[in-house]
Structure 1
Amino acid sequence: MTDNALIVVDMLNDFIRPDGALYCGPGAEAIVPFVQQRLAAHRRAGDAVIFLRDAHAPDDKEFARFPPHCVAGTPGSRIIDELKPRDDEPVLDKTRYSGFYGTDLAKILADYAPATVEVVGVCTSICVMDTVGGLANRDYAVTVPRAGVADFDEAFHRFALQRMERLYGARIVDTAR
């Protein structure tokens, strides 16, 4: 049991690095120092830390909508070096937008039983928002720091923050606790 949990969504080479297959832009690179700070703070507090990682098959149907990216086992699907998970921190491979789809995230969170869950990562309007929706549907109190999320599209980013706040009841904060 832990008071809080941090979920780090898709901070992967293919999304964060300029040479990545589906680079989210300079905004994604810009959140790395903030995510590092939040990761360090949660670790110091003894909170649960969970990483979500896109890990697609080479022929994933998602590639009809997006260029091939984060193919399981490739350098592009690796968590960026600055955020390297510890051995005791779960890294859940996912093949869809929500961190709950086809993963053990629900069970892991139930085991930790956090009072609040903070979510950081990319992309705000896709995997972050869908994971926050899953958290809301499971009655978790959710916090999303603006400085810890980024998107390909600034308009979608702003919309996703509003939707997560208004529909899912997430606390969208300018600074984290």
Structure 2
Amino acid sequence: MPKALLIIDYTNDFVATNGALTCGQVAQDLAPTIIDLADSFLAAGDYVILPTDCHHLNDPYHPENKLFPPHNIEGTWGQEFYGPLNDWYQAHQDSENVYAFAKNRYSSFQNTNLDNYLRSRQITDLTLSGVCTDICVLHTAVSAYNLNYQLTIPKKAVASFDANGHDWALNHFKTCLGAKLI
């Protein structure tokens, strides 16, 4: 059965030093691991999926606008994939096993076709990477668990701007979602 690597929100606004809601160096340090994972998934004939936060400036109806500064605004530098991932994506975006899409909530499943995309390819095993461990990665993991996907979380492929939240989420993945931490 094929597997999928999700690279969640690895964008300039979340990763670059001058990003609007950056995790900073801890997120930047993930780049080699994420690229290695992406290469290994493609080499095995598996899938690389890039769910990416997408917002509209001054949207009065989006709840995140009350919680965070504007970030990942559609079509901006901030929403582009961060450095090495952007280079990787440019080189592989035409592969039938690479799928990038916009999302408008923390979970990559909410308001998207991700579940249908995975099920139509008979994918049941997901490896989650990206940022933020305790926000979008966590909410994606909870949704995946509730949809009966098997989860793997490489600890060196996730990060957050909140170290306590990161540690809590890693424990939650293992103890409450049955995820395999590697």
What is the TM-score when the length of structure 2 is the normalising length? 0.91
The equivalent residue for 2:16 is: 17
Q: Does the 8 A contact of 1:144 with 1:171 survive in 2?
A: yes
Is residue 93 from structure 1 mapped to residue 102 from structure 2 by the alignment?
A: yes
Q: Does the 8 A contact of 1:48 with 1:112 survive in 2?
A: no
Q: What stretches of structure 1 move > 6 A for 4+ residues in a row?
A: none
CA RMSD across the alignment: 1.1
Q: Determine what percentage of the aligned residue pairs are the same residue.
A: 35
Equivalence map 1:8-47=2 (5 Å): 8-47=7-46
Deviations 1:8-31 (A, max 9, x none): 100001111001111112100011
Distance 1:45 1:81 in 2: 24
Q: For residue 170 of structure 1, report the CA deviation from its aligned partner.
A: 0.9
Is residue 155 from structure 1 mapped to residue 164 from structure 2 by the alignment?
A: yes
Is residue 66 from structure 1 mapped to residue 68 from structure 2 by the alignment?
A: yes
Deviations 1:70-111 (A, max 9, x none): 001111001124224322321110111000111111111111
Q: Does the 8 A contact of 2:118 with 2:124 survive in 1?
A: no
Distance 1:45 1:75 in 2: 32
Q: Which runs of 5+ in 1 are unaligned?
A: none
Give the counterpart letter for 2:110 in structure 1. Y
